Amino acid sequence: MSAPQPASIDHSAAAAKAAILPDRLRESLAAAVAQINALVLGKPREVNLAFTTLLAGGHLLIEDLPGLGKTTLARSMAATLALDFQRMQFTSDLLPSDIIGVSIFDPTARAFRFHAGPIFTQLLLADEINRAPPRTQSALLEAMAEHQVTVDGVCHILPQPFFVMATQNPADLAGTFPLPDSQLDRFLLRLRLGYPEAAAEREMLSGADRRQMIARVTPQLAGEQLLALRDAVTRVFASEALVTYVQALLGESRRHKGVRVGLSPRAGLALLQGARAHALIAGRAHALPEDVQALFVEVAAHRLVPEAESSTRDALAASILASVAVD
């Protein structure tokens, strides 16, 4: 089902604004996106959505089969953006302290000293997150929402920028613990990479090893520049008409046929922030309905609760999007 075509919205206020990105930073962002597209072949839309999530200050859930490039995407982003990187394999015996760290008594100093866990990084790949029990999954909640963890009553601030990319395998569900709605809501986007097209797969099979290529890349952006890009996202203009469109999508999700639980106001804030980031990557200082439509299914689907288990969340989100016209 095709998405509704956007009508004309007045962007005069946004057009009057000066460029919110310096030319050099805009060029570096474009070079970073291009470099990752050269490493993750045939997935320009998915790479764009990963960047959108990062610049919007959110976190990314990738739900797909093994071997389709999830780890390659994470490692490519870390190398291209000069981010500290940690990969954690989630298992059924993983404890919260294995993620956030633990306080150990130092007999010399006669005091407890905190030993930071792998979450104290800038890009955390939480691999097969649904294989860990709920208690361990919840250890990520505070970190993802507040960018901090609390151990023994002491708050520890995480490095900035902080970005979680989590993966889960939708086909092999034996021994897994489905993510609760509160955890799913912490992810700005959920996407699938899917199988590559024939030409991209051929180039991948004939080319160099992706790990070797990633090891040789030159960083195109640094952490300070990413923080500047995140700040620029907050200054991207969203018109009143665009906010009305987003609110109409939220309202439709709550009364749409087949939906038991619709989208919350927090989902609307995530959608608007994602649309601003999407517009910034496209080189605009104002968000358009096309930005909202480009993200809606990935932002909304994992937050919807269908009435019937047989209903797919993606199909429901697409149906909601097609039901709301742009005024």
CATH superfamily of the domain spanning 1-20+235-327: Magnesium chelatase subunit I, C-Terminal domain (1.10.8.80)
SS3 269: helix
Low-confidence stretches of the chain (pLDDT < 70) are 1-19, 171-173, 310-311
The type of residue at 317 is A
Report the pLDDT value the prediction gives residue 210, as an integer from 0 to 100: 86
DSSP annotation of 286 reads B
Token pair for 229 = 């890009």
Question: Which residue reads 């993966």 in tokens?
Answer: 167
Report the pLDDT value the prediction gives residue 15, as an integer from 0 to 100: 42
Confidence (pTM): 0.88
Distances (CA, A) of 285 to 14, 28, 89: 6, 17, 39
Report the pLDDT value the prediction gives residue 266, as an integer from 0 to 100: 93
Domain ranges of the chain: 1-20+235-327
Residue 22 to residue 29: CA distance in whole angstroms: 11
CA 182, chain centre distance (Å): 16
In this structure, are residues 80 and 220 in contact, taking their beta carbons and an 8 Å threshold? yes
Report the pLDDT value the prediction gives residue 8, as an integer from 0 to 100: 44
Residue 179 to residue 171: CA distance in whole angstroms: 15
In this structure, are residues 237 and 12 in contact, taking their beta carbons and an 8 Å threshold? no
Report the pLDDT value the prediction gives residue 19, as an integer from 0 to 100: 66
Report the pLDDT value the prediction gives residue 310, as an integer from 0 to 100: 60
Residue 104 to residue 111: CA distance in whole angstroms: 8
- Can you list the positions of beta strands (E) in 25-170? 60-63, 85-89, 101-106, 111-116, 123-127, 148-151, 154-157, 163-168
Report the pLDDT value the prediction gives residue 136, as an integer from 0 to 100: 86
Token pair for 126 = 């939480």
Chain segment 12-62, per-residue pLDDT in tens: 444 434 468 888 999 999 999 999 999 999 999 999 999 999 999 999 999
Report the pLDDT value the prediction gives residue 171, as an integer from 0 to 100: 62
Report the pLDDT value the prediction gives residue 78, as an integer from 0 to 100: 95
Report the pLDDT value the prediction gives residue 229, as an integer from 0 to 100: 96
